[in-house]
């Protein structure tokens, strides 16, 4: 069977910017729909169209839905001026865009941020993803595994430190210098890992442009935007890994700074644009000829020594963690589950590339023809996304299979089978 993969990312950090409190159907939800509708209408010129569209707000605990439009399957029931229902169990919950019940929706998990600008930012980000195909941008979420390597992390962190100073600049000369340094760190990083420029660009065209859209639609003033970006970078550095989440930091800042000069820059790019090259030319940056010497010379201006020492220490810890994961999911008996028609949601902040063996996802939910797999203690995704490996089962309760930190709810057509030679488990179809 031809494999169909829908990847949805649980970008929880976009929802944890401010303190949360429960939100109520009677008051808060209609207000949120009104806020984003007004904000997108005000920013129609950003993409030449109003991004407002079908929205699903979902409670991840109860799966309760709150929508601004009806569906075609009548799952949503009209309730005053919104629509409510229960999200089917086969659909993964995430901040994403999905095709469901006759239309394309922006799905966002509750609770939303209490800060109005952060809330609008998040909703506009996902509405961009809903409109993305019509705007000519493809949906790509590649893993940039080089950003889990020591040097990849060092030069990404240095780039972001330079961008932090760029956003805080008080003069055009200062801004230009920090942008030059940021792009020097970026270009040097790309020389260290073959093809990294292409992989980074692919994710940045997807998530980076979406987040830039959210930033502009949010309507923050200069002081608010500076604080948002500065805090965002600081929070980002605490993430265990950068491989899928870095684009939320880079392109929004470059894009915001360029937007202050050219309100139409984003309408001049497409899915094939090299954003590094585009920003270099747009800001009139001259990249140093001898990059290695140049970045070594300026690194200390951006906390270079501390960053390098921190990444050396991290690398040693990661080596042991990778060895543990290889033992758990490859070398000792384990349970391999092959995909048929898979949909998956996960938190991208803490994934761990395991050399050429794939990537460990500490938290992941997979739905397929065989049922639903929920993992809370790690699973190894194969490099080409055709199977996932977990630890061997511990017990079975009817069609529910339970292991160390995972549960598998099987459909009636499937069962599990143990290989007597390898002691590995696998799924079999009756």
Write down the pLDDT at residue 291.
96
Phi, psi angle pair for 152, to nearest 5°: -60, -45
Residue 65 to residues 12, 74, 82, 194: CA-CA distances in angstroms?
18, 13, 10, 44
Q: In what order do the strands lie in the sheet with 77-79?
A: 77-79, 82-86, 64-67, 55-58, 103-109, 96-100
384: left (phi over 0), alpha (psi -120 to 50) or beta: alpha
2: left (phi over 0), alpha (psi -120 to 50) or beta: beta
**Cα(270)–Cα(187) distance, integer angstroms:** 21
Instruction: Give the list of residues 6+ apart from residue 264 with CB closer than 8 angstroms, or none.
Output: none
Maximum alpha-carbon separation in the chain? 70
Q: Which residue, chain included where needed, has tokens 């660009």?
A: 201
Phi, psi angle pair for 104, to nearest 5°: -100, 125
- Give which of 116, 225, 240 is closest to 124, Cα–Cα: 116
Cα torsion through 47, 49, 50, 55, rounded to 10: -80
CA triplet 185, 188, 189: central angle to 5 degrees? 85
- 96, containing H or E segment: strand 96-100
**Cα(377)–Cα(367) distance, integer angstroms:** 17
- Give which of 350, 293, 4 is closest to 148, Cα–Cα: 350
Coil, helix or strand for 282? Answer: helix
Instruction: Give the list of residues 6+ apart from residue 28 with CB closer than 8 angstroms, or none.
Output: none
Write down the pLDDT at residue 25.
57
Write down the pLDDT at residue 15.
39
**CA 89 centroid distance within chain:** 22
Structure tokens at 226: 């500076």
Domain ranges of the chain: 23-115, 145-302, 320-429
From first to last of its 430 residues, the chain has per-residue pLDDT tens of 333 344 444 444 333 333 344 555 557 999 999 999 999 999 999 999 999 999 999 999 999 999 999 999 899 999 888 999 999 999 999 999 999 998 999 999 999 999 999 999 999 999 999 999 999 998 888 889 999 999 999 999 999 999 999 999 999 999 999 999 999 999 999 999 999 999 999 999 999 999 999 999 999 999 999 999 999 999 999 999 999 999 999 999 999 999 999 999 999 999 999 999 999 999 999 999 999 999 999 999 999 999 999 999 999 999 999 999 999 999 999 999 999 999 999 988 889 999 889 999 999 999 999 999 999 999 999 999 999 999 999 999 999 999 999 999 999 999 999 999 999 999 999 8
Residue 43 to residues 34, 49, 52, 264: CA-CA distances in angstroms?
14, 8, 10, 12
Phi, psi angle pair for 429, to nearest 5°: -95, 130
CB 214 within 8 A of CB 125: yes
Write down the pLDDT at residue 24.
58
**Cα(391)–Cα(360) distance, integer angstroms:** 12
Residues shown for the chain: 430
Coil, helix or strand for 303? Answer: coil
Write down the pLDDT at residue 23.
53
**Cα(257)–Cα(253) distance, integer angstroms:** 6
CB 19 within 8 A of CB 114: yes
Residue 4 bridge partners (DSSP) = 341
CB 8 within 8 A of CB 343: yes
51: left (phi over 0), alpha (psi -120 to 50) or beta: alpha
Write down the pLDDT at residue 343.
93
Instruction: Quote the pTM value.
Output: 0.90
For the residues of 236-272, what is the DSSP string, one character each? HTTSS--TTTTHHHHHHHHHHHHHTT-TTGGGG--TT
């Amino acid at each position: 069977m031809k494999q169909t993969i829908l990847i949805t990312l649980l970008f929880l950090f976009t929802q944890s910017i401010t303190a949360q409190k429960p939100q109520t159907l009677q008051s808060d939800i209609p207000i949120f729909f009104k806020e984003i509708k007004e904000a997108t209408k005000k920013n129609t010129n950003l993409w030449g169209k109003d991004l407002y569209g079908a929205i699903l707000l979902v409670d991840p605990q109860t799966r309760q839905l709150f929508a601004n439009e009806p569906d075609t399957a009548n799952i949503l029931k009209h309730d005053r001026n919104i629509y409510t229902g229960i999200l089917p169990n086969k659909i993964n919950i995430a901040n994403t865009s999905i095709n469901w019940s006759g239309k394309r929706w922006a799905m966002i998990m509750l609770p939303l941020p209490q800060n109005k600008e952060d809330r609008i930012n998040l909703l506009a980000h996902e509405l961009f993803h809903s409109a993305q195909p019509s705007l000519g941008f493809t949906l790509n979420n590649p893993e940039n595994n080089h950003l889990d390597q020591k040097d990849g992390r060092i030069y990404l962190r240095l780039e972001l430190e330079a961008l932090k100073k760029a956003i805080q600049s008080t003069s055009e000369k200062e801004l230009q210098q920090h942008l030059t340094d940021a792009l020097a760190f970026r270009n040097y990083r790309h020389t260290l890992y073959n093809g990294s420029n292409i992989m980074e660009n692919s994710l940045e065209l997807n998530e980076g442009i979406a987040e830039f859209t959210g930033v502009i639609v949010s309507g923050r003033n200069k002081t608010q935007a500076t604080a948002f970006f500065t805090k965002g970078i600081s929070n980002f550095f605490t993430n265990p890994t950068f491989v899928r989440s870095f684009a939320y930091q880079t392109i929004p800042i470059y894009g915001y700074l360029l937007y202050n000069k050219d309100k139409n820059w984003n309408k001049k790019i497409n899915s094939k644009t090299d954003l590094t090259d585009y920003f270099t030319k747009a800001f009139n940056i001259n990249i140093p000829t001898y990059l290695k010497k140049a970045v070594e010379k300026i690194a200390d201006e951006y906390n270079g020594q501390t960053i390098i020492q921190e990444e050396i220490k991290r690398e040693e810890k990661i080596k042991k963690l990778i060895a543990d994961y290889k033992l758990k999911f490859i070398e000792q008996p384990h349970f391999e589950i092959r995909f048929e028609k898979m949909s998956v949601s996960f938190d991208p902040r803490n994934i761990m590339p395991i050399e050429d063996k794939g990537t460990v996802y500490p938290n992941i939910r997979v739905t397929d023809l065989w049922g639903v797999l929920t993992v809370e203690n790690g699973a190894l995704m194969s490099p080409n996304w055709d199977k996932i490996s977990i630890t061997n089962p511990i017990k079975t309760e009817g069609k529910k299979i339970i292991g160390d930190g995972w549960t598998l709810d099987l459909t009636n057509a499937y069962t599990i089978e143990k290989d007597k030679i390898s002691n590995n488990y696998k799924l079999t179809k009756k």
